[in-house]
Amino acid sequence: MEPFFLLITTRRPIILNTIRAARKAMATRFEIILHSHQRKDWLQSVAEEILDEIDRIESQLSRYMPTSQIARANRLAALQPVKLDPQVFQLLEDCIQWHQQTRGAFDITAGPLLKCWGFTDGQYCEPSRDTIERTLEHVGIHHIQLEPGSHTISFDTEGVTLDLGAVGKGYAMERAKEILADYEIESAILHGGTSTICAVGTPPEDVAWHVGIVRPEKDLASPFADRSATAQPSSVSDLLTSVALTNASLSISAVWGKSFQSGDRTFGHIIDPRNGYPVSDQWLTAIVHENALSSDVLTTAMLVDGTQLTENLSEHLMGKQWLMIQQGEEKDTYEVVSQGMGHNPIQRSPTLPESGEAP
């Protein structure tokens, strides 16, 4: 289930045309809600243009599509320079800058590690330390050479693999915002699966778009899930917090998006690219930012580095709302750290209540 959902209010009814459109892309479901005085058929055409653009971006960035620019670079860049479209080249330059600013916590060359742990094909396994060390030889931004004059990319060794999964949705959201601005649509909300949501303006019935973040025990994919409870959140008490968005994006990253058990440990798909191991101290991060690509990067990097990253990137996070779920002192507990996001302070899974506590 999704770690967030849209909260609908009816405080200030305004008559506008509304359309919803959805499409599967980037291994998730993208959905758009548009409000306008324009005709519904015109709004539908705008929504379809945005979804077509998301498809186009996926065809450029997906490592799993053999004809994409990223897949072609992964095949050939160790043998010869590979030419990229200017927009894709700029995206890679931005990713390298983010790598440097996060001190390596964000790294688009972590693809070999995802494969090593079985997250690319679902064949999950806990590799040996020797296997991880060998895999790390092919990980790192230092293996990439970008040539601005020719918009080409080269790798200095074979086995390097680019993976833009952590930024693809945010990048697509920013392009969608540009299309909405071109058509002067001032009330819209878009989301890409369970990770990125982008709000433009306000809904016709309220002063902001309100998005609820589900508490871990209500997310059946999380290790804190209350298996005896209903699968869907049914009240405000099922939320960890709600966020009001106006011309801003909310990104959420959770370790349990893809995870597996090995012995008594849970391994998630967010891997520290510097040591090769899945992160174990942070479970979920959420950040509100005016730029969806930036919020995507920051949630991933914060999962890797935790509160240490908030100190290293204080200039990027100053005045921003963010929330982090960390491992508690005991195995089956979690703690919430936040800035600017209020939250329900319950920190223990209701499946394991304290003596005297209500479950």
174-213 as b/e: b if 16+ CB within 10 A: bbbbeebeebebebbbbbbbbbbbbbbbbbbebebbbbbb
CA 359/CA 351 separation, integer angstroms: 7
Q: What is the DSSP letter of 29?
A: E
> How far is it, in rounded angstroms, from Cα 51 to Cα 58?
11
According to CATH, the superfamily of the domain at 69-155 is ApbE-like superfamily (1.10.3980.10)
pLDDT computed for residue 203 by the predictor: 93
Rounded CA separation 192/101 (Å): 25
Burial (0-12, 13-18, 19+ Cβ within 10 Å), 47: buried
Q: How many CB atoms lie within 10 A of CB 13?
A: 8
Question: Would you state the pLDDT for residue 328?
Answer: 87
Tell which residue, 199, 209, 186, has the closest CA to residue 46.
186
Contact partners, residue 326, CB within 8 Å, separation at least 6: 281, 282, 283, 306, 334, 335, 336, 337
**pLDDT value for 229:** 55
pTM of this prediction?
Answer: 0.88
* Type of residue at 290: E
Distance CA 330, CA 174 (A): 40
Q: What is the predicted pLDDT for the residue at 208?
A: 95
The mean pLDDT values, 10 residues at a time, for the chain of 359 residues are: 53 76 96 95 98 98 97 98 98 97 95 94 93 97 97 97 96 97 96 91 92 84 66 68 95 87 85 94 93 95 86 78 90 87 51 28
Q: Which residues contact 357 (CB under 8 A, 6 or more apart)?
A: 348
Q: Which of 188, 234, 187, 241 is nearest to 214 (CA)?
A: 241
Q: Are 202 and 222 in contact (CB under 8 A)?
A: no
Domain ranges of the chain: 69-155
Q: Are residues 81 and 147 in contact, defined by beta-carbon separation less than 8 angstroms?
A: yes
Q: How far apart are CA 164 and CA 62, in angstroms?
A: 7
Residue closest to 325 by CA, chosen among 284, 295, 266: 284
Phi, psi angle pair for 333, to nearest 5°: -125, 160
CB 200 within 8 A of CB 188: yes
Return the half-sphere exposure (C-beta side, CA atoms, 13 A cut-off) of residue 304.
Answer: 26
- Identify the pLDDT of residue 259: 85
- Cα-trace Rg, the chain: 21
- On whether the CB atoms of residues 257 and 288 are closer than 8 A, the answer is no
User: What's the confidence (pLDDT) of residue 346?
Assistant: 42
Classify the C-alpha dihedral 314-319-321-326 as positive or negative: positive
